[in-house]
Each structure stands twice: as structure tokens, then as C-alpha cells.
A and B are shown apart, each in its own frame.
Chain A
Amino acid sequence: MRQHLDRTRNALVSLVGVLIGLRYYWERIAHAFVTLLAVTTITFALFRLMPGSPADAMRADFERRLAGSGQAADPEVIDQMIRVHTGFDPDKPIYIQYVEYLRDVIIYQDFGQSIQYGDPVFDILFAAMPWSIFISIYGLAFGYTANILLGAAMAYKEGSRFDSYSTVLATFLNSIPYYVGAFFFLAFFAYDLGWFPGSGRYSRDVTAGLNPEFMWSIVHHGTLPIMSSFIVGFGGGALAMRGNSVRILGEDYLRVARLRGISSSRIATRYVARNAILPLYTQMMIGIAAVFSSSVVLEYIFTYPGVGWYTYDAIMRRDYPLLMGSFLFFTIVTLIGILIAEFTYGIVDPRAGSGDQSEAY
């Protein structure tokens, strides 16, 4: 009987634990949704409400085009064209337009239609997205791995010559913008030495599909953009990791752990590394936005047709639906990235899931 009660109580406790944990996840999801709503609203406002907005520019553009082709600029035809390209109906009151726009974007993933390509914006960007993610994720992953390893090594050798040289090196690397790195890579590795291709996503000679040549071609073309993206991910993180590790190495609980005779490898991984990485992990969530942002510049430099490249293309060709769509797309990809990071953060740091009042900052 006693055992039975205990078991029930344990089950209840774990259930409550799971619910509290879930509450944290639900909150995060709700938060992401609110952000998406806000960004969509901003996009709508920029599109529709502001004087001299893309909608006005588009109208003028269409009027000019129609006049150029000898047709009379019929306002209804133009309204129709705007409706097709942006997804909102200029005849309806503004709040209904707003609601319909939100509905289109969030429920139907309808971002309008590209003026330049004539295809739905969503299809264009969805096809381009994996390439951007490929570059950004690897850049971020390599960058943060390098941060953690270098920072830990510096903290381990604190005060040594290696430490001071690495500090200077890390500071210097931090002051090199990623595009400067990209120019150097492109000029030396692609054009001068010819080791890597200077543009494109994969070679045209290979057939697309799951074959080794194609995959090698992707890696070959992706190396330089990933190396440049690595610079973004690297940032100043190594110094932060070094600082965290040094601070933790001086904590009392570490001395206690040593007195208890816990093995040094366990102390290094469980006590020092874990606590030192946690602040870096929150920093990484901001890093995700930075890495995806940087892809606009990098994909232009490497002529790598991802979402960033289409953004650039859209500005140059004044393709406003594509421009606004790619901005929304960037936000959504970033939001998903941050959401994944936050969910795993809950696993890495049990305190984050306990739902207490003071949040992690």
C-alpha cells in the first residue's frame, strides 16, 4: 500500500514537472507567434500605410508600363494587378486588407506574386531557402565550436603566452567584417589559386540528385561561403567563453568538487564547460539573426542564389512583393532557428524549464 502511494506520488510529481516544462515550451511558441504577427504587421504597414510605400511605387510602375504598351491606364486593371502581386485588395477598407494579409501570410503562406519572375513569392523563396540555411547553419556551428574550443584552451592556459597571443588574435579576427573575409577568400582561393569556384551553388555538369558527384559539388561550392559565414559565427565568442571559464574556475563549488575527489575530466566537462557554455548559448540566439542577416551580403558576393540573393535581386529590380516576402521569410527562418535553440536550451539548462519568475538574462 505504502509503495503504491509512493509510486502514485512520484508519477504525479513527474507529470507536474512535464506540464511545467511544457508550459515553458508553449510560452516560447506563443512568443514566436506574437513576433511573427508583429513583423507581418510591420511589413503590411510599410507596404500599405506609409506614404511613398511600395504599393504606391508599384501603382506608378504599372501605370507607366501600361501607358508604355499603349493601353489606357484603367484603375481597375491596376487594382487587379496590385491584388495579384501583393495579396491585398485595394478596394476594401484598410483593416479588412490587414486581416486578409495576415491570414494569407500566416495560414496560406501566400506572400503574393513576384513581378519579375511571375511566380508566387513563396515558391521562389522556398526553393532558395535550403541553400541559405545550409550556409548559415554550418557557419554558425563551426563558428561556435571554434569559440568554445579556443576559449576553453585560453582559459586553461590563462596567463600564458598562448593565452595573450590568442586574445589578440581573437580580437583582431573580431574586427574583420565577414565580407572582408569573403573578398579575400574569393580573390585568393577562387580566382588566384582556383581551388574553389567563385559563384553558383553547384556545378552545371553534374546531374542533380543523390549521387556523390552532386554532393561533392555542393560542398565544393559551399566551402567559401561557409568559411565567410564562420567569421560571423565566430564573433567575439572565444573571449566570452574564456571569461566565463576563468570566472567559473575560481568558484568555490569547483574546489568542493575537487575535495570530493571527482575526476578532473568530469569536472572539466560537467562543472566548467557546461556552465561556461550556457551564457554563450543565449548569445547564440542573437547570433542566429546575425548569421541569417549576413547571408544577403554573402550570397551577393558569392552569387549564391539563396534567399539573400533574391533579396538583393528584388531591390535592384524593384520587385516589392519579393522584397517584402523575403524579409518575412528571413524573419520566419530566424524565428524557427531561435525556437529550436530555446527548446534545446531547456534541455541543456534545466533551470530554464522550471518556469520561475526570474528569467534567464
Chain B
Amino acid sequence: MKHTEETGTDGGEQLSDDQLFGQLAKADRVQLSRRERFGLLLDAYVLTPGRVAWSDWRTRIGILVISLFLLTGVAAKVSTSNWWFLEHVTIIESPATNQAPTNHQPFDGGFAAITEEGGWIDTTASFPWVEFNAPLGSTNYGEPIGRQLVHSTPDMVEMVIAGAVVSVGLAILIGITAGYKGGKVDSVLMSITDIMMTMPGIPLVIVIAAIYPPRQAWLVGVILAIDAWPGLARALRSQVLTLREESYVEASRTMGIPSTTILSRDITPQLMPYILINAAQAGRSVIFESVALYFLGVLPFTTANWGIMMDTAYSEGFALVNMANFYQIFWPMMAVVIVSFGLILFSQGMDRVFNPRIRARHSKKVGGGEDQEH
């Protein structure tokens, strides 16, 4: 694998003491300007992790998929927006019935259709030179599936972000407080977490959604977060249990700094990488569950979601029984799989970025390269 190759190069040449101390002395003398300091901070917190992240194919694919997901959301949002000049910009038209022939098969006509007029990719159009005619097919009512997919994205992005923020936020609040405080606070908070963890998530969400149907996408995300936070809270707590014994935390404690400051300044930043990784996982579980619940028809169809498309394909297109219509349920399923694959790859790749051992190896390599230039 890739990282085993890196191990071979990390030996590098040893610096002589002269070089080393000379450099230290020089660094001591130099007064850094604010701009330089900003540059260093940028390098330490953004560029180096970015470089490490980009060197791993998982993060690369993950970031690509996530940006594509977000961009699609923005494109759809811009297309439907009525705000100022955006009113006249339409990147991808909103789906409507009879925009395409009913039951139009995906990639109709194969590759030959590309050069023909009215094919699924029409290259003979005048402006904008390429025209798509329901490349992914259309539903029984002639709604192009591709447009439906694209126009469901903004609501899904909103839901994923809301779900990830709320579940991770709750987990941080409860997990870190419990781990740091210990004692009674810990046992009370952990009992709550355990209770939430044992409650089967989907039935609970169904009951809540049956009583209070959430009509906004972000609210759906928040409700789904109920199921996602307890596992992460427990994991964070066990991380904090080791961090709280660190000497610098103890130093802060003896200095009489209040717990809230210690938690927010000393402990939470250490856990940030771990939290980021889990935010991606939380996003994935929000997508999984929301699509399942929309498919069941438990949530009100007031927002757009790939699950609703699946439900339509299943109950009106009979996509499973009638193989000719399988494409109708296939595309939304693929969208779910691809986005969650991207999120998982991203979180796995970030795990490698923040894993101190791999990170140290890499930074040593970067440092070695710079030294040779001098």
C-alpha cells in the first residue's frame, strides 16, 4: 500500500548539530511579522493537512464527490432562485411532467444518438452547444429523472448539514462534558446516552414524525440526528478520559481556569479531527435514514428527496416487478450509494490525515525536502 512506501523514505539524512543549532539560533533572532505568522499558521493548519489529504486517493475521491454533491445543490438552487439576476439564470430546468416522452429509457439510442438531433446528448444544438434530453430516462409521467435528482439535492444538502451539525454538536456537548467532569455528571449523562442508544432509531423517528410531521428539510435532519449522536458521544467521552489526564490540562486546572474554558480551549481542539471524521459519518447516516423514511412515506412529501423518487418508482412505476422500469429506482439508489461512498472515503482519508503517526512521517518528509534546498 501507499503508506508503506512512505516509510522507506522517512529516514532521510541526519542533520549535523551545526546545521541544527545554527537554524535554531537564526529562528530565535527573527521577529515574525503578522503576515508571516499568518502564513505559518495557514501552512500548519490548512496547507499541510490539505497536502496530506490530497496525497491519499480516498480523500481525493471523497472531496470530489462531496464537492459535486454541493455544486449540484448550488446549481439547482440557482436555477430555481428568484433573487435579483439569478432569476434569469437557469442551469438545469426544474422537472415537470411531459418534459420528455413518458417511460423514456435511459441513454436512448446508445452512443449513436450523440451525433443525432434529439438524442440523449444532442451536440447539434446551437446554444449552449450541448443539450441533454432526459439522458437518465423519464418517469411514467414524462418527468426527466436527471432533473429530479438534481432538484432534490438542495433539500438533501440542507438536511445533511443540519443533521450532521446537530448530532455532532449534541455529541460534543454531552460526550466531552461527561468525560471531563466525571462522577455524578458523567453517570447521569451517560445513562441518558445509553437510553438513547438502546432505543431503536427508526421506530422512534417514525413515532415522532407521525405526531409532528416535519415539513422543512432542516427539521428532518434535526429529527434524524436524534438517532445519530449517542454513539459519537460515547466515543468522544472515552477520548476525553485520556486527554483530561494530560499535564497541560492539569496545569490549566491548577491555575483555576474555569471548566468551560478548559473544555473549549484545551480539549475540544484536540478532538476536532475526530469530530470532523464523525461528521461525515453522521451525514451518511442522515442520508440513509431519510431516504428510507421518505421511501416508506412516513415523512410528508413537502421537501424533495431521492427517497420520494424511489417511492414513486416502486409504487407507480412497479420498478421491481417490471424490469423495463428498473432504471427509475436505479438512479436514485445510485445517487445515495455514490454520495455515501464519497462521505465514507472522505472520513477514512481524513482519519489518515489526522493520525499522528502518518502525519509525522509526512511532515518529516516535507521538512527534509526543504532542508535540501537551503
Contacts and interface: CB of A to CB of B under 8 A. Distances in A.
Contact of A177 (B208, B238, B292, B323): B292
Interface stretch (B30-38, B79-87, B147-155, B334-342): B334-342
A311 B203 contact: yes
B218 to A, nearest CB: 20
Nearest to B345: A171
B77 to A, nearest CB: 25
Contact of B337 (A176, A286, A315): A176
B370 to A, nearest CB: 30
Contacts of B206: 296, 311, 315, 323, 327
Contacts of A316: 297
Interface string A314-347: 0110000001101100110011001000000000
Contact of A180 (B4, B211, B333, B348): B333
B149 to A, nearest CB: 15
A297 interface: yes
A137 interface: no
Of listed B211, B298, B323, residue having the most chain A CB within 10 A: B211
Nearest to B341: A175
Interface string B25-54: 000000000000000000000000000000
A183 B341 contact: no
A248 interface: no
Given A46-B207, A180-B333, A186 B320 contact: yes
B198 A289 contact: yes
Given A171-B344, A187-B320, A326 B201 contact: no
Contacts of A198: 320
Interface in B152-208: 191, 194-195, 197-204, 206-208
B203 A327 contact: yes
B104 interface: no
A286 B232 CA distance: 12
A331 B341 contact: no
Nearest to B3: A159
B86 to A, nearest CB: 33
Interface string A222-246: 0000000000000010000000000
A39 interface: yes
Contact of A163 (B1, B195, B198): B1
B322 to A, nearest CB: 8
Contacts of A300: 296
Interface stretch (A18-26, A47-55, A70-78, A203-211): A47-55
A108 interface: no
A164 B1 contact: yes
Given A179-B292, A334-B198, A361-B238, A159 B1 contact: yes
Contacts of A191: 320-321, 323
B241 interface: yes
B321 A335 contact: no
A289 B201 contact: yes
B308 interface: no
B200 to A, nearest CB: 4
A298 B180 CA distance: 40
B333 A183 contact: yes
Interface stretch (A30-38, A98-106, A261-269): A30-38
B194 A35 contact: yes
Contacts of B329: 183
Given A179-B292, A297-B296, A39 B195 contact: yes
A170 to B, nearest CB: 10
B362 interface: no
B331 to A, nearest CB: 12
A141 interface: no
Contacts of B295: 179, 297
B195 A35 contact: yes
B211 A50 contact: yes
A236 B284 CA distance: 13
A311 B320 CA distance: 23
Nearest to B342: A175
B164 to A, nearest CB: 16
Contact of B198 (A35, A53, A186): A35
Interface string A39-62: 100010010001011100000000
Contacts of B310: 183
B129 interface: no
Nearest to B320: A187
B141 interface: no
A158 to B, nearest CB: 8
Contacts of A327: 200, 203-204, 206-207
A290 interface: yes
Which 7 pairs from chain A and chain B are nearest by CB? A175-B341, A361-B238, A293-B202, A175-B340, A293-B200, A330-B200, A187-B320
Interface of A: 31, 34-35, 38-39, 43, 46, 50, 52-54, 159, 163-164, 171-172, 174-177, 179-180, 183, 186-187, 190-192, 198, 236, 286, 289-290, 292-294, 296-297, 300, 311-312, 315-316, 323-324, 326-327, 330-331, 334-335, 338, 361
Interface of B: 1, 4, 191, 194-195, 197-204, 206-208, 210-212, 227, 231, 234, 237-238, 241, 284, 288, 291-292, 295-298, 310, 314, 319-321, 323, 326, 329, 333, 336-337, 340-341, 343-345, 348
18 contacts: A43-B207, A46-B208, A171-B348, A175-B337, A177-B336, A179-B292, A183-B314, A183-B333, A191-B321, A286-B231, A293-B201, A296-B203, A312-B298, A323-B207, A324-B207, A326-B203, A327-B203, A334-B200
